[in-house]
Chain A
């Protein structure tokens, strides 16, 4: 959806800037501090919907199916992310367990679910009022979603386990990688600004520009 010209301030240096219409696959940066003000991606709503559906379908498998199995002298055992969290709780590390639960399981799940709910409503053309609350929740939850770090954690664990036992990679790992790709793609291709524009766009007037701020109610 082409972005209309509007007035904004740079988040990093507070420069007042008039942003022109940004064509697809271009972005607009602050002239002073080079902060990316706006990135224009085509079809944010459709892509967000597709990626979030895929992510939600893969998510339970990524967390509940075994990621890595080890075997040594005939004994073997496999582990999942959720099992690791439950073990932390069982060992008394309830702060750590909650932290890992939130950052590796709940926050990504909530983020993908929110994208799904928001984009599905937008795609169907409905804009109920609770979408604003959901957008706020999305904004808050995004910084706590750390799936890429978990991916790195899996790789490091694999290397550390290499000399303890023989490793076998589980199907959960494949699901996890796919979920990660969905989550990362959502973060790249669907930015909140485009969703806000879709939610708050006036129904009739497609050429709204927000240039006269003296009339903004305080």
Chain B
């Protein structure tokens, strides 16, 4: 089965409208259908992904060490960090919610960062992951990106709802700002990463300019939804 990439034919896919436009390597042109800027690969994908990733890793340090929020009951309360909140929930025997917070606010950010590093290293140096596994990993990272905002939303709602004067009140901590920034930075990092780079390393067959594009190149599979 001949594998032909759009890049081999100097065709670039428009991210917005999915039309194919003629484009040379390292060139940025306008999509013929919708005018969006189009290039064969996301420009400077690897550099920018690393930049966002390193910034996100740096932001995770204050996010986990500074408190997310302080719950004051009758004027007393301890500021709690992410892990502190999880431990408290475990002590209260609320295991499902402790698991949710632990996964969404602790495991997911680290998972995303390590996954993106694995993908970048796959593109730059090659490693033992197959292209299929890398693509699946990329899709998981894209999907999980937004779910780490959970903790930020919890803090937002808590400070809105719990306003009972000195009886009960909540103060947001700086940790939540650092955490939110870290989530956004990982989202930007995965957005900048071009998944096609993973497959570029595969051996692709050469094409000649005489190939016509009106022949079906691959048989499609129909999948019932």
Contact = CB atoms under 8 A, between A and B. Distances in A.
Chain B interface residue number, banded:
35 or more
Interface stretch (A8-16, A43-51, A110-118, A119-127): A8-16
Interface in B130-156: 131-132, 135, 138-139, 146-147, 149-150, 152-154, 156
Interface in B143-183: 146-147, 149-150, 152-154, 156-165, 167-168, 171-172, 176-177, 180-181
Nearest to A80: B160
Interface in B185-219: 187, 191, 195-196, 198-200, 213-219
A19 B184 CA distance: 35
Given A14-B199, A84-B159, A150-B153, A26 B222 contact: yes
A218 interface: yes
Nearest to B89: A160
Contacts, number: 254
A87 to B, nearest CB: 5
Contact of B218 (A18, A69, A196): A18
A99 B221 contact: no
A87 B223 CA distance: 48
Contacts of B73: 164
Interface string B1-16: 0011111110111011
Interface of A: 7-9, 11-20, 22-23, 25-29, 31-35, 39, 67-70, 72-73, 75-81, 83-85, 87-88, 91, 93, 95-96, 99-100, 103-104, 132, 135-136, 139, 143, 146, 148-150, 152-154, 156-157, 159-161, 163-165, 192-193, 196, 200, 210-214, 216-218
Interface of B: 3-9, 11-13, 15-23, 29, 32-36, 71, 73, 89, 92, 94, 97, 100-101, 104, 131-132, 135, 138-139, 146-147, 149-150, 152-154, 156-165, 167-168, 171-172, 176-177, 180-181, 184, 187, 191, 195-196, 198-200, 213-225
Given A35-B135, A96-B176, 16 more contacts: A12-B195, A13-B196, A14-B6, A14-B7, A16-B6, A18-B215, A29-B223, A73-B167, A88-B156, A96-B180, A100-B156, A132-B35, A153-B152, A161-B161, A163-B92, A213-B22
